[in-house]
Structure 1
Amino acid sequence: MSEEKLSFQAEVSRLLDIVAHSLYSNKEIFLRELISNASDACDRLRYAALTQPELIADDPDFKIELSLSKDAKILTISDNGIGMNREDLVENLGTIARSGTAAFMDQLDGKQDGTNLIGQFGVGFYSAYMVSDQVSVASRKAGEDQGWAWISDGRGEFTIGETDDAPARGTRITLHLRDDQEEFSDPMRLRGIVKTYSDHIPIPISLSEDDKEAEALNTASAIWTRSKSEITDEQYTEFYHHVAHAFDEPWERMHFKAEGMIEYTGLLFIPASKPFDLFHPDRKHGVKLYVRRVFITDDCAELIPPYLRFLRGVIDTEDLPLNISREMLQHNPLLTKIRNGVAKRVVSELTKKANKDPEAFETFWTDFGAVLKEGIYEDDGQRDALLKLARFRSTVAEGTTTLADYIGRMKEGQESIYYISGEDADNIKRSPQLEGFAAKGVEVLLFSDPVDEFWITSVPNFEGKSFKSVTRGGADLGKIGAEDKSEKDEKDESDNGDTNVDSLIAFVKLALKDEVKDVRASERLTESAVCLVADEGDIDINLERILKQHKQLDTSAKRVLEINPKHSLVVALAKRIGKDGVGDELEDAAGLLLDQARILEGESLPDPVAFARRLSTLVEKGLA
């Protein structure tokens, strides 16, 4: 078979250009990434050999070998892991076969140092081009006869074809070092890199220079099996870099051993910043499952709750059989207990962190709070603890507040925890529905994460206080706080004064017909003339908007139009209806009141032409 010349996927070409121009500040990490990939290849073959022992019968001991030809400036990294065939080479080295690629590349564009993002994306192989002007890969997949060669200078194309010069099993990556990267042809430099970044790799790593005897470079023991007192902070960090394919410092780590009816060890990390695909529909968690130090899978949905998908690390258990299949892992009762135990431990650690270092926890919550809140409706066992952890912006608090602190600030007569939801906290803070609450000093929580609309439906109350949206039903503001004399006098005057407002409301309701569910005077408005609210029992306005965006709802609930009886516009219209009766002018005004409420709610107008006509007509008459 002749060689083929193929083009890189467009995203790969962009990535290689970024690698070549932005990562020189930390170029030694290329070796860490290639060793990490080799370790993963050995782990995958070890698992496959549990059911197909013939795959490693001729070579049962896994190893990673570095070979250096100093004069030729050639560095080779070899492993006897799972290996790759033609399809694997094209998919793994020629394309980025992951969801969210476009979003990832957009994040990389324009960044001076894209190291951390590249690590998050798990494409560390391309870091080889930081130090090489040509990379060749020879590989033979375990259990297959044919070997394959892949060669590229990283400039848009690669060559692939059959070869007899591949390892008996596994992969050999050959780097032709650039002239300005001669430091990586120094064996002492390579020893230091491996010791710093890869000492924790649980597979022996050796280095041979030209014809000299190979020397061992690492301790080759699983770091999570060692005592915490034996592990330095630097070693923990480098293991995090390996297991997460990350470059940042972890925000928190948890190294623990659970004993009892089920035994397992965990070494888990919380990243310092959120992964780019945290909210992508195809997202997966980053925790690997081991059984007695043998890698089983990094794609076990039952191991970690979805709301903890930001975790990175390993779980190693003694209680599952080594030959367990991925199908057998589904709905496994032992895994369910491990999952619940891990969730309880992580939430407990977060609670300790929140109490000990609120400022640091605030940073964590900014990145991961929206994900953690998914657990409020997904995990009954951790619901109460997560509610206590949750942080929210509000109309009163500086920064964020807890629900407990909110309750501590509730006004006399206030029976509910009030909230308003929307796409942006700063925008919803200006909503007209908040005016009456602000006038009485009543705090309202600002829900700006889409998940807020879903967990709130599964939580009837917090510490005996129910949750109530300010955009649904009556506001109950009359029960809150004592009325002062001026407020009472104003109310009495309104009650005993001009009844033309009632006539106006009745007319607007008649004029709008089926466009609204009802029209009524508002307690919540103090500055705006109108607003739209959901009736009691109807779907919340923002939830309806979210469901429509995701095509899960194709109908709209009719809303209640609330009118502020004290607003100058309403008062003027009421006087007009009392003096001249109804007419076309007032019908146009009724339509404009509804359009104004829609605009304030951020909704599009169903008939912009009619709106423009009404507005022009009334302005023209006003100017006349």
Structure 2
Amino acid sequence: MAAAMMRAAAQRCTEVRASGQAKVAPAAAQLPLAPEETYQYQAEVDRLMDMIVNSLYSNREVFLRELVSNSSDALDKIRFVALTDSDAYKTGEDLEIRIRANPEEHTVTIEDTGIGMTKDELLSSLGTIARSGTAKFAEAVKESQGDANLIGQFGVGFYSSFLVADRVKVQTKSNDDDTQWVWESAAGSHSFKVKADESGDRLPRGTRVTLYLKEDAHDIADDKKLASLIKQYSEFISFPIKLWSSKQETERVIDEEATEKKRQEAKEAAEKEGKEAPAEVEPVMRTESKTVQDWTVQNDNKPLWTRSPKEVTKDEYDQFFKLTFKEFLEPLGVSHFNVEGTIEFSAMLFVPGMAPFEQQDMMQRQRNIRLFVKRVFISDEFDEDLLPRWLGFMKGIVDSSDLPLNVSREILQESRVVRTIRKQLVRRSLDMLKEIAGRPEEDGKSDYLTFWEAFGKMLKLGAVEDQANKGVIAELLRFPSSKSGESLTSLKDYVGRMKEGQEAIYFMAADSREAAAAAPFVEGLVARDYEVLFLTEPIDEVVMQNVAEFDGKKFSDVSRDELDMGDGEDASKKAEEAAAQYKDVIDFMKETLGDKIEKVTVSQRLADSPCALVTSKFGWSANMERIMKSQTMGDSRAMEYMRGRRSLEINPDHPVVQALQSKVSSSAPDAKAMTELMYETALVTSGFSVDSPKEFANRIYSMMANGQAGGAAAPQQAQSVDPEVLGADKDDPWRQ
């Protein structure tokens, strides 16, 4: 809407004659040549100018970026014209931009040897806001199927001059016009002036913009300040940017006074000795410091990303990465590529050699991707537009002329171009990570392990958030396992080691590798030589739920009921027989524990433990329940619902279960206490928390006291404990 308003307002640009009558300005070619002509902006343009100056740009120092960009456009134009017009360079072949500060007069001048402007072009380009000669030129080139290599189509860049200047003067000379023209306007003014330049300060060809700085911007009229801004915003412009700068130089000169003194001393010495004084003595030299001013090129380094990747050395990539992103370690990987087609752009992506010192910084808004448009730095605040959050650790450069920007040139708009670039960056990032993962170890060190320790959590986030790429990301995931020792394993390697007939990828979630390895659920699997992945980070279970399968193998949580271990009919038959044999124990335990559990079953997964608590298919695992409880805003009702139903599995081959069967058969009074203690112990070993730690502790103390009573004398403090609580059978294995 704003652009439409600007176009409409620009069409109503009016001329103010000496009579003071305002009317619509005729075409520039129809205007009589006059010493000076004043044009008044319509009210809408005044308002939009005020918006530009006061609120459109967040950093007023971008004025230099805009003016240098305009100069680069003008140089691109004359270079393009020269391809078909051999006379274009008769007014000068040097294509360059010159910037000069005058601290005494508080001015900054930006001059180029570009195409320049006629009076018509001056009025249409600088007399309006949303119409630019560059946009028109780009349209003409498109129609002719040429390539002017333009940035263009920003519209309001020139007016950023008024962010720092009270007054702006533009002098311009085109090959198509014998007259050099001057455009002048002041900040806050409702008008601009155009006249033939009679100053005698003629340009062979091109445009010179002189900024008369505001009082609070006088510090900009400094060559060091300008050099810093050029380096920040325009270091990689394809034309040389020359800055009039001063530097201190030293030279050796004759010290006349010291030399004359030396001559006199030599003469006096000769007279004393009756000799003839020497005609000359060796002059005495001294070092003088002087200030030298000259044009110095500020952007003599060709942008690395514009070169062919084959021409760039590893050392050049490393140095560029360290200098550009203030890193001190070499990158683990580099992806340098050019995309050509309907959308063209160049990019370099780097995988850092280490994570930020503050890990949480990776999840905050990053400034890792620097956006350029035809080598003009635009911003480093568009990371989330160009890369998904899970690739926020990547650092790099993106340079394209096709990127859509709004009038401020600082807020990226959603578009097909952005989506295409984003898709390419993600694909190239994944390709680079796969290349790093495939590197062999050197001196016992793995580049990918270094990467994984720094950024592995980010890839796990990607497996959850990026549905389109979760399959590729899954190939890059690493986990400890029951067969990996102290190292990690990939899912591909896990599948490669699977036993014949194994249909699932088994995993156990816990808060540490040790806890996962000690969990009762993995006992039977390990005993059968199955490999179990150990998930030790909070996001791991969510990753498994989201990825669901790998290489056609589904993920299976070993802590849930209905675990299929592929044991076949014989094992199932054996379990049925055990269930029948222990039916009285199963019924007794269910009756004793009541609603605490859904059912009691004979386990096929337990080997060394007497019992374990497994969760239903859709409820939280013990690990997830622990994580959710740690959330301060947890909803207790929702937690109770998501907890799901738990089942108690018993190991019929374990002495404790056999002892309980004996007690149940004999109606021993302590059978219930033993059942409660088995249940609470199963809670702990299965990763859950005990509902009443005090009652659990009392049962343990009772067991300890009973054990002491069967052996040496019990300690004094344990005498009040009833020794019959857990039974007094001397051969009871529960007491051993």
Contact 1:410 1:443 in 2 (8 A): yes
Contact 1:253 1:267 in 2 (8 A): yes
User: How far does residue 312 in structure 1 lie from its aligned partner after superposition?
Assistant: 0.7
User: How far does residue 227 in structure 1 lie from its aligned partner after superposition?
Assistant: 3.4
Give the Cα–Cα distance (whole angstroms) in 2 for the partners of residues 238 and 48 of structure 1. 28
Equivalent of residue 340 in structure 1, options 410, 420, 423: 423
Number of the residue aligned with 1:169: 220
SS in 1 for 2:386: coil
Are positions 1:616 and 2:616 aligned together?
Answer: no
Q: How do 1:232-311 and structure 2 match up within 5 A?
A: 232-280=313-361, 281-284=363-366, 286-300=368-382, 301-311=384-394
Q: How do 1:171-186 and structure 2 match up within 5 A?
A: none
Are positions 1:587 and 2:667 aligned together?
Answer: no
User: How far does residue 426 in structure 1 lie from its aligned partner after superposition?
Assistant: 3.3
SS in 1 for 2:652: coil
Number of the residue aligned with 1:470: 558
Identity %: 31
1:575-606 per-position Cα deviation (integer Å, ceiling 9, x unaligned): 12212x153x2222222222212222444332
SS in 2 for 1:295: strand
Aligned-residue Cα RMSD (Å) equals 4.3
Deviates more, 1:530-539 or 1:304-313: 530-539
Contact 2:100 2:223 in 1 (8 A): no
User: How far does residue 328 in structure 1 lie from its aligned partner after superposition?
Assistant: 5.9
1:101-148 per-position Cα deviation (integer Å, ceiling 9, x unaligned): xxxxxxxxxxxxxxxxxxxxxxxxxxxxxxxxxxxxxxxx95499xxx
Give the Cα–Cα distance (whole angstroms) in 1 for the partners of residues 523 and 409 of structure 2. 55
Equivalent of residue 454 in structure 2, options 362, 367, 378: 367
Listed as ranges, the gaps of 5+ residues in structure 2 are 1-57, 72-95, 102-107, 110-161, 167-214, 226-230, 249-289, 710-736
Number of the residue aligned with 1:378: 465
Contact 1:51 1:323 in 2 (8 A): no
Give the Cα–Cα distance (whole angstroms) in 2 for the partners of residues 605 and 48 of structure 1. 67
Are positions 1:211 and 2:294 aligned together?
Answer: no
CA spacing shift, 1:299–1:328, aligned 2, 3 Å: closer
Are positions 1:576 and 2:663 aligned together?
Answer: yes
| Higher gyration radius (CA) | 2
Q: How do 1:182-193 and structure 2 match up within 5 A?
A: none
Equivalent of residue 415 in structure 1, options 503, 510, 527: 503
SS in 2 for 1:275: coil
User: How far does residue 61 in structure 1 lie from its aligned partner after superposition?
Assistant: 7.6
Q: Which amino acid in the other structure matches residue 292 of structure 2? A: K
SS in 2 for 1:395: coil
Give the Cα–Cα distance (whole angstroms) in 2 for the partners of residues 518 and 574 of structure 1. 17
Give the Cα–Cα distance (whole angstroms) in 1 for the partners of residues 507 and 476 of structure 2. 17
Contact 2:501 2:566 in 1 (8 A): no
1:309-342 per-position Cα deviation (integer Å, ceiling 9, x unaligned): 1111111112124545578635332211111111
Contact 1:257 1:264 in 2 (8 A): yes
Number of the residue aligned with 1:425: 513
Contact 2:406 2:413 in 1 (8 A): no
Give the Cα–Cα distance (whole angstroms) in 1 for the partners of residues 602 and 673 of structure 2. 20
Contact 2:234 2:376 in 1 (8 A): no
Q: Greater relative contact order: 1 or 2 (C-alpha under 8 angstroms, separation 6 or more)?
A: 1
Number of the residue aligned with 1:97: none
CA spacing shift, 1:613–1:562, aligned 2, 3 Å: same
Number of the residue aligned with 1:511: 592
Q: TM-score, normalised by structure 1?
A: 0.64
User: How far does residue 351 in structure 1 lie from its aligned partner after superposition?
Assistant: 2.0
Deviates more, 1:607-616 or 1:217-226: 217-226
Contact 2:378 2:410 in 1 (8 A): no
Number of the residue aligned with 2:474: 387
User: How far does residue 48 in structure 1 lie from its aligned partner after superposition?
Assistant: 7.7
CA spacing shift, 1:166–1:329, aligned 2, 3 Å: closer
Give the Cα–Cα distance (whole angstroms) in 2 for the partners of residues 495 and 220 of structure 1. 78
SS in 2 for 1:381: coil
CA spacing shift, 1:498–1:342, aligned 2, 3 Å: closer
Are positions 1:534 and 2:573 aligned together?
Answer: no
User: How far does residue 393 in structure 1 lie from its aligned partner after superposition?
Assistant: 2.0
CA spacing shift, 1:603–1:621, aligned 2, 3 Å: same
CA spacing shift, 1:452–1:496, aligned 2, 3 Å: closer
Q: Which amino acid in the other structure matches residue 619 of structure 1? A: M
Are positions 1:353 and 2:436 aligned together?
Answer: yes
Are positions 1:222 and 2:303 aligned together?
Answer: yes
SS in 1 for 2:377: strand
User: How far does residue 459 in structure 1 lie from its aligned partner after superposition?
Assistant: 2.5
Give the Cα–Cα distance (whole angstroms) in 2 for the partners of residues 436 and 290 of structure 1. 58
Give the Cα–Cα distance (whole angstroms) in 1 for the partners of residues 323 and 504 of structure 2. 48
Deviates more, 1:412-421 or 1:354-363: 354-363
Number of the residue aligned with 1:151: none
Contact 2:509 2:534 in 1 (8 A): yes
Contact 1:42 1:62 in 2 (8 A): no
Contact 1:243 1:313 in 2 (8 A): no
User: How far does residue 208 in structure 1 lie from its aligned partner after superposition?
Assistant: 2.1
Deviates more, 1:420-429 or 1:250-259: 420-429
